[in-house]
Chain A
Amino acid sequence: EPEVTQTPSHQVTQMGQEVILRCVPISNHLYFYWYRQILGQKVEFLVSFYNNEISEKSEIFDDQFSVERPDGSNFTLKIRSTKLEDSAMYFCASTTAGSGNEQFFGPGTRLTVL
């Protein structure tokens, strides 16, 4: 069964450093998402990406965040200057077009900012 993959599984960084979280969505999917989950809290929407551009973003997704789909398979989330409060699990998800289709989530990247 196809699945969403994410790398790395755990990223430790110093405050102020840039990090790039990587995702490979399911190959025939067209909508891509990043969500984050602070420890013990609910999953929060960050950004959606469709047709090679951001289609929607949340208030969390400020100027420090960016997303890219540099080729036909990878989907990345960059945080330019990490803050302590960016420590969380970051999940990538993807779905096909159409309102009835489920979003498939990757296993997540645990980001720890020291």
Chain B
Amino acid sequence: GESVGLHLPTLSVQEGDNSIINCAYSNSASDYFIWYKQESGKGPQFIIDIRSNMDKRQGQRVTVLLNKTVKHLSLQIAATQPGDSAVYFCAERGGSNYKLTFGKGTLLTVNP
């Protein structure tokens, strides 16, 4: 079946370094791809999304890259801070009801 998955389950970085979290997807029909951040005990929090007809989008300290050729999505976090420590999920959105299909999540740990 169609799925969204992550290459790395955990990522540990030093404060100030850049972080890259990767995700593979299989549903070519999805129109949006989204990154969510989930802190312990909280609901997913929207970080950034990208439309399927784009290959790059930048936000504040975050950049999402979409490679449709290899069905790959990545989230880059610049100058990672301890507050960035969380689980990051990629998700794809498709269909008329805009439901989200989530990947498994990557735990990002930022060491001071």
Count contacts between A and B, CB distance < 8 Å.
59
A42 touches B98 (CB 8 A): no
Size of the A side of the interface (Cβ < 8 Å), in residues, is 26
CB of A27 within 8 Å of the partner chain: no
Is the CB of A65 closer than 8 A to any CB of chain B? no
Interface residues of A in 59-114 (CB under 8 A from B): 91, 93, 95, 99-108
Interface pair B46/A104, CB less than 8 Å apart = yes
Instruction: Sort chain B's interface into a size bin.
Output: 20 to 34
Cβ A42 vs Cβ B32 within 8 A: no
Interface assignment of B61: CB less than 8 Å from any CB of chain A:
no
- Let me know if B102 and A44 touch, CB within 8 A: yes
* A42 and B104 within 8 A (CB): yes
Contacts from A to B (Cβ < 8 Å): 4, 31, 33, 35, 41-45, 48, 50, 55-56, 91, 93, 95, 99-108
